[in-house]
């Protein structure tokens, strides 16, 4: 089936430093790439997304880049703060397993810890 | 502002028992889905629905049933629970499909099967 690989699985940074999480995907027809943040005991929440007709998108301290040729995309968080500590998931729109509507396939997640 | 509400939050079952995880949304979303979250495996799609009366299988549908009789509700049924179904289950909804816009997740239901 379609695959989304996410690295690293854990990441620790000092407060104020930048954090980068990378994902690769296998479905060349994928055209939507969201990133979700999951705080402890909560459901995931969308923080930023990008579509295949755009190479980069930024929202304050968060940015996402997409390289369609290489089939990888990355999340960049600058000036990290303790409240950025959470699990982050990338996802890519992929062909449904039953051949119907496209669905989201998620990466395995990155536990980000921002050290004070 | 309820959003997506899941019940129960915690449940312990014995192998072979059946149960239903409830999911309700008040945003009039046509698309609803169920995911399971296991350590190191991200979120995997179990079943989804694009509207009342329409359901389809996701990546890991075996052992689970769903129905969609109303726009608001999308229950997930475990007919005969197995230890492999120990997981955290998330319901999510969207105004478009999963691959076009934001998914709104519930807070999860943690299920343990002994």
Which parts of chain B have pLDDT scores under 70?
1
- Provide the shortest C-alpha distance from residue A16 to chain B (in Å): 27
Cβ neighbourhood burial of A62 (10 Å; 0-12, 13-18, 19+):
middle
What is the distance of C-alpha A81 from the center of its chain?
Answer: 18
Task: To the nearest 10°, report the CA torsion of A34, A35, A39, A45.
Answer: -20
Q: Please tell me the number of Cα atoms within 13 Å of A3 on its side-chain side.
A: 5
Q: Smallest Cα–Cα separation from A74: which of A17, A112, A20?
A: A20
Show the tokens assigned to A86: 């959470």
Contact B15, B113 (CB under 8 A): yes
Q: Which chain A residue has its CA at the smallest distance from B43's CA?
A: A106
pLDDT, mean of residues A32-38 = 96
Antiparallel, parallel or unpaired: β B10-13 and B109-113:
parallel
Chain A (6-65) residues lying within 8 Å, Cβ to Cβ, of chain B: 6, 9, 31-32, 34, 36, 41-46, 49
Per mean pLDDT, which range of A46-55, A85-94, B9-18 is the poorest? A46-55
Q: Looking at residue B95, what DSSP letter applies?
A: S
pLDDT for position A73 = 97
Across the range A31-46, mean pLDDT stands at 95
**A98 falls in which pLDDT band (50, 70, 90)?**
low
Ranges A12-21, A48-57, B83-92: which has the least confidence:
A48-57
B27 CA to centre of own chain:
17
Going from the C-alpha of A73 to that of each of A13, A30, B11, B17, B111, the distances in angstroms are: 20, 12, 37, 43, 33
Nearest C-alpha in B relative to A6:
B42
Closest Cα of chain B to A96: distance in Å? 7
Which residues make beta-bridge pairs with A4? A25
Residue-level pLDDT at A2 = 76
pLDDT at A97 over 90: no
Can you give the pLDDT at residue B41? 85
Residue of B nearest to A7 (CA): B40
Chain B residues touching A42 at Cβ < 8 A: 107-108
């Amino acid at each position: 089936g379609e695959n989304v690989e996410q690295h690293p699985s854990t990441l620790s940074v000092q407060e104020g430093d930048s954090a980068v999480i990378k994902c690769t995907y296998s479905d060349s027809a994928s055209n939507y790439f969201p990133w979700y943040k999951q705080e402890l005991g909560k459901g995931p929440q969308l923080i930023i997304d990008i579509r295949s007709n755009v190479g980069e998108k930024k929202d304050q301290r968060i940015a996402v880049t997409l390289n369609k040729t290489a089939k990888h995309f990355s999340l960049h968080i600058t000036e990290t703060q303790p409240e950025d500590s959470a699990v982050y998931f990338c996802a890519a729109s992929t062909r449904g397993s039953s051949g119907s509507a496209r669905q989201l396939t998620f990466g395995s997640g990155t536990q980000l810890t921002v050290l004070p | 502002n309820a959003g997506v509400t899941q019940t129960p939050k915690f449940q312990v079952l014995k192998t072979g028992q059946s149960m239903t995880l409830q999911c309700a949304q008040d945003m009039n979303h046509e698309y609803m889905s169920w995911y399971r979250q296991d350590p190191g495996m991200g979120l995997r799609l179990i079943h989804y629905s694009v509207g009342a009366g329409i359901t389809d299988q996701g990546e890991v549908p075996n052992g689970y049933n769903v129905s969609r009789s109303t726009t608001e509700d999308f229950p997930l049924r475990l007919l005969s629970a197995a230890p492999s179904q120990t997981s955290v289950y998330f319901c999510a909804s969207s105004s478009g499909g999963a691959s076009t816009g934001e998914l709104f997740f519930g807070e999860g239901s943690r299920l343990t099967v002994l």
